[in-house]
Amino acid sequence: MGSNENRGEERQISHTNVAEYSYYRDFVNNLTLSLRALKIV
């Protein structure tokens, strides 16, 4: 039972890391688009 609970926690942590990574990636993409817009202007 204990090992199963630990696995569940690891899955939860990895899922959170993926969510944070996707959010960070979107932030970088938006920043890149903004920089491109500034270069065009």
Q: What is the mean pLDDT of the chain?
A: 80
Mean pLDDT of 6-34: 83
The DSSP string of 1-41 is -HHHHHHHHHHHHHHHHHHHHHHHHHHHHHHHHHHHHHHH-
pLDDT for 13 equals 65
Mean pLDDT of 25-35: 95
Distance CA 16, CA 12 (A): 6
- What is the domain partition of the chain in residue ranges? 1-41
The phi, psi pair for 11, rounded to 5°, reads -65, -40
